[in-house]
Amino acid sequence: MRPRYIDADKCTACGLCTKYCPRHLVDQYNEGLAITRPIHIDYAQAVPATYFIDPEACLYLKHGTCQICVCTCQSKAIDFSQKPEEKELHIGAVIMAPGFGRVPDATLAKYSYGQHPDVMTSLEFERLLCASGPFEGEVKCLSDRRHPKRIAFIQCVGSRDLGCNNGYCSSVCCMYAIKEAMVAKEHDPEVEITIYYMDMRTQGKGFDAAQKKAESMGIKFVRARVADVMPWDKNLKLTYSTMDGKHSFEPYDIVVLSVGLDAPADAKNLGEIAGFALNEYDFCKTETFAPLLTTKPGVFVAGAFQGPKDIPESVTQSSAAAGLAAGLIVKDRGKALVHKTYPKEQKTGTDEEVRIGVFVCHCGINISSVVDVASVEQYTEGMEGVVYHAQSLYSCSQDAQEVLKAKIKEHNLNRVVIAACSPRTHEPLFQETLKDAGLNRCLFEMVNIRDHCSWVHANEPAAATQKSMDLVRMGIAKARHIQPLPEQTVPVTAKALVLGGGVAGLTAALTLAEQGFHTTVVEKEDTLGGHLQHLSFTLQGDTVSTVLGNLTDTVKKNKKIEVLTNTELTQVNGFVGNFSSVLTTTKGKKTTETTIDHGVIIIATGGREHRPEVVLGNPVEYSEAIVTQRELEKRLSGKGKNLAPKSVVMVQCAGSRGDDLNYCSKVCCNHAVKNALKIKALDPASQVIVLYRDMRTYGFAEDSYRQAREQGVVFIPYTMDNKPKFKSSGKKTSVTFYDPILRDEVTMNPEVLALSVGIVAEGTEEISKLLKVPVNEDKFFLEAHVKLRPVELPVSGVYVCGLAHSPKPVEEIIVQAQAAAAKASIPLCKGFVSVEPTISCVDKETCIGCGLCESLCPYQSIRITKDENGKRKAETITASCKGCGICASHCPVFAISMGGFTDEQINAQITAFGAK
């Protein structure tokens, strides 16, 4: 452990030390585009929110002089006596998540990177766009600070390039380039932006739509290879060649290099220390059907180190890896956890005298340099209910907590108002102190006089002081009405229900069972395996039937898993922790119903192959000569002679990406390459032509795409303005397409026309109605948060994985299933769901049972039930209420109250707003 030279318990992140530090340091967080000091914090929201000293740049640590920071720091946090420490830990499992590395500068040199300041990497450009970046979000040329008129993005820099030994596709650059281009366009709608690409690989959920939006904003996409970028007067000259062999050049003010994700710099070292193997590109070596296992047992991998990937996939892998690690050491669950204890809570009755303590914070000089803190404090003197008021230098510091506790006891306070920073960041800290002092944590109100006052009215101290007084007055008014709220928990039935017996459902069930939870798998078909039963081999060469056989056997043998085939979910009642579901099994003419209780639901109902009847405007009749890729795969993996057709034309995006379906199905390009390689392996003389829009062989699949080209598979792009045409008469099929290299129409008569059709959602709408979970416009389930909660649905206790979420290859399905199982096991292993006290509560006396709240609640967390007299009454489902208050604001008889935000409290605030 390297020292920070700053005591984290004392540092209040006020920033005074950075202000006084005399030495400059290049700001790595801002990609070297800004200047900071050796004593600094990377960014305001950094965790831990403790400054640190760069020992390589600090004058004292390097040369033994200075120490200005020591006398500047008011909380005496600077500690030069800290030494590096070594720790020895004994651990049960390891998760490797070291991220990715940088493409070496040498690879960027041919684009004049390093020679001209206006050629920059995408990460540098990202910092330029950011409000906390070097120019506070203003996009300027680094050379002379002028606003750029023309910006170019060059894709695949350091990716899909054997020249720098990065043969793979980095999978994220197309997306971030589109994002950065759009944000730059928002900054300045006049700026002209061109993205030079080989294939636009926007294969993720909703990604194609974002690219369309970028196009509609006027961002140009040009399929070309960029030869070089050279300084040209004040500008840059970008030379490129298009498919038709033409060379052109254009002037630009800024050229952004969309750099790929390299393996982390210390990958080899990590591999040696931990004893796991790397792949040829120095990423972690894993298998298709065990994507998160390293070659060393007990060591798991997650994130970009497993292969280049975006944020949602990294988050998914992390949850999955956590679930796998948890399953490995399940017998030690909870053994090492440290639980905190609190003193018994004192009772605060409604009729008890209100005794408010007000603490006004200086936050170093963050507040007090603008707001007259002493006046604000004095202002509270004599206010109704206020029995104590004080100032503190840093109310969040450890010693201030001790003072707070002492004052609560000394003055017998039963409400605390702190005027300081944001409750969003600091409320939990103070509530913890209240609990330590034996008070209910809800007897607390925070007034934000820093973020909402001193920081934003820095030049108007009088007005800021007045605003602080007003806000404090309003806070105290609310505090007079706050009441203790009980800590609520809801018990959980430690069982899971998994819908779907495909690879997603089975993997999820196994992951849950390994953690010790009883799981019921429901499959509507007769057999387990789903989509995977129709596949024979993978791009990586695995035999699917063997793997699937092993998986189904393991599931069937597991005593914790109950499998119900020919069964469907027909009814669901309850909420997180306490679901009760009716399952209907149909065998022949006989149907049986069973009801099971469970705490969570995982939706893994899959999807099915899309079979469009019209492809790119051509009517299609499927036959032996016109097949889907799946049917071609079946033929290729059969027995006997002449498996490989003599000639094949494959058509990508058949019925996808705006043809019939609006989205990209993510798997079809890999499927085509897989089949093409198989044909070439069976018969190298066979002719294979692939007509495509963008080859989306992202990640390491790019290697197979390159291999296919090397083996003579011909890839020819088409556009939606010039679609391939096909006809069939009898056994003969003819395909006509435009060849951009020949610059002419070509007609062929292939033995087989293989259509790369997409994947559609199946049965999602029915489940959506049953469980009240949303689906998107393409009928796939819509996750709770696209980036950070990718396997959770908005209804608590319901999770999604596999094709029901969106089309994706099997490797990603397995990870998603493991992640959904890991997330689902959180409430199961806790045994209860804790509820924030800020939820709705119905006064049954007043409620007239109109049902408006039930129909409006976005989380299905309030329902109408019958009371003992048979009268309709609303009831909050505490376990899933999110506290939004829509029910309370719409209740016609004011029967609904929100914990911590009652009508009484808000009205008191409004009245206090008016009072002077």
Partner 1 sequence: MSQKDFNPKILGFLCNWCCYAAADSAGVSRYQYPPNLRTIRVMCTGRLDPAFVLRGFAEGADAIFSGG
Partner 2 sequence: MGQAKDKKSGTVMVVGGGIAGVQAALDLTELGYYVYLVEKSAAIGGAMAQLDKTFPTNDCSL
Angle at the Cα of 722 (from 720 to 726), degrees rounded to 5?
100
Tell me, by CB under 8 A, how many residues bind partner 1. 48
**Which tokens in the block code for residue 907?**
């009205």
Question: Cβ of residue 264: shortest distance to partner 2, in angstroms?
Answer: 8
Nearer to partner 2, 267 or 583 (CB): 267
Interacting positions 620-679 with partner 2 (CB under 8 A)? none
User: Residue 840 to residues 424, 653, 854, 873: CA-CA distances in angstroms?
Assistant: 20, 49, 12, 14
Question: Buried b vs exposed e over 128-163: b needs ≥16 C-beta within 10 Å?
Answer: bbeeebbbeeebbbbbeeeebebbbbbbbbbbbeee
Is residue 183 involved in binding partner 2 (CB under 8 A)?
yes
Nearer to partner 1, 324 or 464 (CB): 464
Binding mask 84-123 for partner 1 (x = CB under 8 A): ----------------------------------------
Radius of gyration of the chain (CA): 32
- Please choose, out of 212-220, 418-426, 501-509, 531-539, the segment that lies near partner 1 by the rule CB under 8 A: 418-426
**Which tokens in the block code for residue 266?**
């210390």
Question: Cβ of residue 312: shortest distance to partner 2, in angstroms?
Answer: 9
Q: Is residue 288 helix, strand or coil?
A: coil
Is residue 455 involved in binding partner 1 (CB under 8 A)?
yes
Nearer to partner 2, 172 or 735 (CB): 172
Is residue 392 involved in binding partner 1 (CB under 8 A)?
no
Among partner 1, partner 2, none, partner that 207 touches (CB below 5 to 8 angstroms by kind): partner 2
Is residue 139 involved in binding partner 1 (CB under 8 A)?
no
Question: Cβ of residue 893: shortest distance to partner 1, in angstroms?
Answer: 12
Element (H, E) at 581: strand 578-587
Nearer to partner 1, 565 or 889 (CB): 889
**Which tokens in the block code for residue 720?**
């939606």
**Which tokens in the block code for residue 458?**
């820095």
Interacting positions 802-821 with partner 2 (CB under 8 A)? none
State which amino acid sits at residue 104.
Answer: P
Element (H, E) at 676: helix 668-682
Binding mask 43-82 for partner 1 (x = CB under 8 A): -xx-------------------------------------
Q: In the set 65, 216, 350, 459, which binds partner 1 (CB under 8 A)? A: 459
φ, ψ dihedrals at 899, nearest 5°:
-55, 125
Nearer to partner 2, 314 or 909 (CB): 314
Among partner 1, partner 2, none, partner that 466 touches (CB below 5 to 8 angstroms by kind): partner 1
Is residue 810 involved in binding partner 1 (CB under 8 A)?
no
Is residue 181 involved in binding partner 2 (CB under 8 A)?
no
Beta bridge partners of residue 687, listed in sequence order: 647
Question: Cβ of residue 790: shortest distance to partner 2, in angstroms?
Answer: 10
Is residue 278 involved in binding partner 2 (CB under 8 A)?
no
Among partner 1, partner 2, none, partner that 422 touches (CB below 5 to 8 angstroms by kind): partner 1
Query: What residue has token string 């789903």?
Result: 530
**Which tokens in the block code for residue 518?**
């009883």
Neighbour order of strands in the sheet with 752-757: 626-628, 752-757, 647-654, 687-692, 714-717
Residues belonging to the chain: 916
How remote is the C-alpha of 889 from its chain's centroid?
32
Angle at the Cα of 464 (from 459 to 468), degrees rounded to 5?
160
**Torsion angle, alpha carbons of 582, 587, 591, 596, to 10:** -20
**Which tokens in the block code for residue 349?**
């009755």
- Please choose, out of 279-287, 423-431, 569-577, 675-683, the segment that lies near partner 1 by the rule CB under 8 A: 423-431
Nearer to partner 1, 15 or 251 (CB): 15
The Cα–Cα gap between 770 and 705 comes to 42
Question: Cβ of residue 608: shortest distance to partner 1, in angstroms?
Answer: 37
Question: Cβ of residue 467: shortest distance to partner 1, in angstroms?
Answer: 5
Confirm if 283 and 96 have CB atoms less than 8 A apart.
no
Interacting positions 251-290 with partner 1 (CB under 8 A)? none
Beta bridge partners of residue 746, listed in sequence order: 737
Is residue 40 involved in binding partner 1 (CB under 8 A)?
no
- Please choose, out of 131-139, 144-152, 355-363, 538-546, the segment that lies near partner 2 by the rule CB under 8 A: 131-139
φ, ψ dihedrals at 766, nearest 5°:
-65, -45
Nearer to partner 2, 474 or 576 (CB): 576
Question: Cβ of residue 371: shortest distance to partner 1, in angstroms?
Answer: 11
Interacting positions 508-537 with partner 2 (CB under 8 A)? 515
Q: In the set 71, 458, 788, 893, which binds partner 1 (CB under 8 A)? A: 458
Q: Where are the alpha helices (DSSP H) in 387-530?
A: 398-410, 423-436, 461-479, 503-514
Is residue 429 involved in binding partner 1 (CB under 8 A)?
no
Is residue 595 involved in binding partner 1 (CB under 8 A)?
no
Tell me, by CB under 8 A, how many residues bind partner 2. 79
Element (H, E) at 823: helix 810-830
Interacting positions 851-880 with partner 1 (CB under 8 A)? 858
Beta bridge partners of residue 447, listed in sequence order: 419
Nearer to partner 1, 757 or 839 (CB): 839
Nearer to partner 1, 137 or 740 (CB): 137
Among partner 1, partner 2, none, partner that 101 touches (CB below 5 to 8 angstroms by kind): none
Question: Cβ of residue 775: shortest distance to partner 1, in angstroms?
Answer: 23
Confirm if 818 and 320 have CB atoms less than 8 A apart.
yes
Nearer to partner 2, 164 or 182 (CB): 182
Nearer to partner 2, 270 or 386 (CB): 270
Q: In the set 267, 453, 539, 695, which binds partner 1 (CB under 8 A)? A: 453
Three-class DSSP labels, 240-271:
EEECCCCEEEEEECEEEEEECCECCCCHHHHH
Confirm if 874 and 842 have CB atoms less than 8 A apart.
yes
User: Residue 121 to residues 128, 173, 262, 510, 908: CA-CA distances in angstroms?
Assistant: 11, 11, 14, 43, 53
Q: In the set 162, 337, 685, 741, which binds partner 2 (CB under 8 A)? A: 337
Query: Interface residues with partner 1 (CB under 8 A)?
Result: 44-45, 131-132, 136, 422-425, 448, 450-453, 455-460, 463-464, 466-467, 470-471, 474, 838, 858, 882-886, 888-889, 898, 900-901, 903, 906-907, 909-911, 913-915
